[in-house]
A and B are shown apart, each in its own frame.
Chain A
């Protein structure tokens, strides 16, 4: 459904609000049939919505409110003026393209976000799965939904009696794999991840092809995950496109172009002429075509820079830039700014390569450098599948639950790539411990171990005297609830058999 967007003054909107419903004359040609208009004051966010019942040609009339004094062309019959939650310009689409700037009037579309109610989880299961769960309930055993899904394939091939037996055995096996309460799961997890860790090799992985990319893997990567580094040593993204664009090479190449952050220095030489206070940009054709940048892109980028005069030399491709303020200091500043001036692309993405997936025959982009937020804003990108290996970035953009899953997936992938099998529950425990506080915390002195509530537990870990002295000065109290504290004072620990309270039972059953 098309609607229009335009810029207006606060005063005009105020009079409209007061007098609505009213006729409003504007200076643009507007097609009839439009029912909604969005108004902005600053060309960035839209804060008012006008409901329009009719669009007519402008005729002079005293009852009409005028937007301007001259050049009026159309009269809108405004029914209601509604203030609304601000919508940024990037939400509007013109011919499926995102708008980055607009002149005073534009006919656009506002894509609606459909809200679909989430179905009940149990209702979403197939009838076969439900049947098996039902059967398990009847037999008084517990099996998980995923297990029931797996069992459906056996249901047909086995006789009912055999299937019952299978179900019972599966349930019994699941029961035995359960952890008892007060088991020291943390220690077991530490050992279960630590031992395979000793067998990991220090190795980096290479992408085949001319433009090579390195991704940290193996032990260094595992340490990186657990340390919760702000920036991983090799941030990289796997960018998937929406299914409708995935197979078209042209679109994929365009997205690559949009992703790769190209600066002036990447495609041109900058020559400084001190005598005339000029900077000459000499584009390198070979580099330009490699980076998929053309001359006008360069000029567009320069036009956005302030405080300079751009003189395009028609005789050759050189572009001459002159600082408006004539001083050597300014000349130097402009030169430095020019070097880092972004022509195209997403900040932080150094390189992007596209490869065809051999199985699905669709294109997948791999990038060096990561900027999840801005990559997700690109229209062609499928936000559901796009992935980054920067866990902190995931926490910032998608939230802590996503970061928890990222820690789990990354560590599982790092281990399984080396052919090491670790029970997923150990990795889940680590991921949960790192994220349960609402932010990603490292394992170690800066993170989990260093922030335990008990003084004695902290003192037992590292820098004993510092913690004890501090606790003494502040008069901290230790309730001796943890394990390390109880070992220090010589009590039974609150784990395993130590956590059991015995009471006398007068009569046997």
Chain B
């Protein structure tokens, strides 16, 4: 079971895809056929290399 909820996963991939689309270096080797930044971000997420994580609130404030 992934430690992330579906919303957290979507948010992380979205943020990373934005970085990649704006020219950030890709961390892992991706096959040359993969061009879409979202696909790249998803590959990176599956390999757990994205340097982004989640901060969860422990209580309402």
Docked-complex contact B48 and A502, CB < 8 angstroms: no
Docked-complex contact B11 and A497, CB < 8 angstroms: yes
Docked-complex contact A508 and B7, CB < 8 angstroms: no
Chain A residues, CB < 8 A from B10: 497
Docked-complex contact B51 and A500, CB < 8 angstroms: no
Chain B residues, CB < 8 A from A505: 50-53
Known: A175-B1, A508-B51. A502 touches B15 (CB 8 A): yes
- A 491-509 to B, binary, CB cutoff 8 A, 1 in contact else 0: 0000011011111111111
CB closest residue in chain B, given A141? B1
Bound-state Cα–Cα, A503 to B1, Å = 22
What size tier do the contact residues of chain B reach? Answer: 20 to 34
Bound-state Cα–Cα, A469 to B56, Å = 37
Chain A residues, CB < 8 A from B51: 504-508
Docked-complex contact A501 and B5, CB < 8 angstroms: no
Cβ of A182 under 8 Å from chain B: yes
Docked-complex contact B52 and A496, CB < 8 angstroms: no
Q: Which of B7, B49, B50, B54 contacts A496 (CB 8 A)?
A: B7
Cβ of A181 under 8 Å from chain B: yes
Chain A residues, CB < 8 A from B8: 497, 500
Q: In A470-509, which residues have CB < 8 Å from any B CB?
A: 496-497, 499-509
Docked-complex contact A500 and B54, CB < 8 angstroms: yes
Cβ of A180 under 8 Å from chain B: yes
CB closest residue in chain B, given A507? B51
Bound-state Cα–Cα, A499 to B56, Å = 9
Known: A497-B14, A503-B55. A508 touches B5 (CB 8 A): no
Chain A residues, CB < 8 A from B49: 508
Cβ of B6 under 8 Å from chain A: yes
Chain B residues, CB < 8 A from A509: 48
Chain B residues, CB < 8 A from A180: 5-7
Bound-state Cα–Cα, A497 to B10, Å = 7
CB closest residue in chain B, given A508? B49
Docked-complex contact A502 and B11, CB < 8 angstroms: yes
Known: A497-B10, A497-B14, A500-B11. A182 touches B52 (CB 8 A): no
Greatest chain B CB density within 10 A among A181, A497, A505 is at: A497
Chain A residues, CB < 8 A from B56: 501
Docked-complex contact A503 and B5, CB < 8 angstroms: no
Q: Which of A175, A183, A499, A504 contacts B52 (CB 8 A)?
A: A504
Bound-state Cα–Cα, A500 to B56, Å = 7
Q: What is the distance, in angstroms, from A141's C-beta to the closest C-beta of chain B?
A: 10
Chain B residues, CB < 8 A from A500: 7-8, 11-12, 54
What is the total number of residues of chain A having a CB less than 8 Å from a CB of chain B?
18
Q: In A164-204, which residues have CB < 8 Å from any B CB?
A: 175, 180-183
Chain A residues, CB < 8 A from B11: 497, 500, 502
Q: What is the distance, in angstroms, from B8's C-beta to the closest C-beta of chain A?
A: 5
CB closest residue in chain A, given B8? A500
Q: What is the distance, in angstroms, from B11's C-beta to the closest C-beta of chain A?
A: 4
CB closest residue in chain A, given B15? A502
Bound-state Cα–Cα, A509 to B47, Å = 10
Bound-state Cα–Cα, A327 to B56, Å = 81
Known: A175-B1, A508-B48, A509-B48. A501 touches B7 (CB 8 A): no
Chain A residues, CB < 8 A from B53: 502-503, 505
Docked-complex contact A497 and B7, CB < 8 angstroms: yes
Bound-state Cα–Cα, A500 to B11, Å = 7
Docked-complex contact A182 and B12, CB < 8 angstroms: no
Bound-state Cα–Cα, A180 to B50, Å = 22
Q: Which of B27, B48, B52 contacts A503 (CB 8 A)?
A: B52
Bound-state Cα–Cα, A496 to B5, Å = 9
Q: Which of B5, B14, B27 contacts A181 (CB 8 A)?
A: B5
Greatest chain B CB density within 10 A among A496, A504, A507 is at: A496
Docked-complex contact B54 and A503, CB < 8 angstroms: yes
Docked-complex contact A502 and B54, CB < 8 angstroms: yes
Bound-state Cα–Cα, A502 to B55, Å = 6
CB closest residue in chain B, given A495? B7
Bound-state Cα–Cα, A264 to B51, Å = 85
Chain A residues, CB < 8 A from B54: 500-503
- A 446-486 to B, binary, CB cutoff 8 A, 1 in contact else 0: 00000000000000000000000000000000000000000
Greatest chain B CB density within 10 A among A180, A500, A506 is at: A500
Top-3 shortest CB links A-B: A180-B5, A500-B11, A505-B53
| Interface residue ranges, A against B (CB under 8 Å) | 175, 180-183, 496-497, 499-509
Apart from the given pairs A182-B5, A183-B7, 8 other A-B contacts in the complex at a CB distance below 8 Å: A180-B6, A496-B7, A497-B11, A497-B14, A502-B55, A504-B52, A508-B48, A509-B48
26 contacts between A and B (CB under 8 A): A175-B1, A180-B5, A180-B6, A181-B5, A181-B7, A182-B7, A183-B7, A496-B7, A497-B10, A497-B11, A497-B14, A499-B7, A500-B8, A501-B55, A501-B56, A502-B12, A502-B15, A502-B52, A502-B54, A504-B51, A505-B53, A506-B51, A507-B51, A508-B27, A508-B48, A508-B49
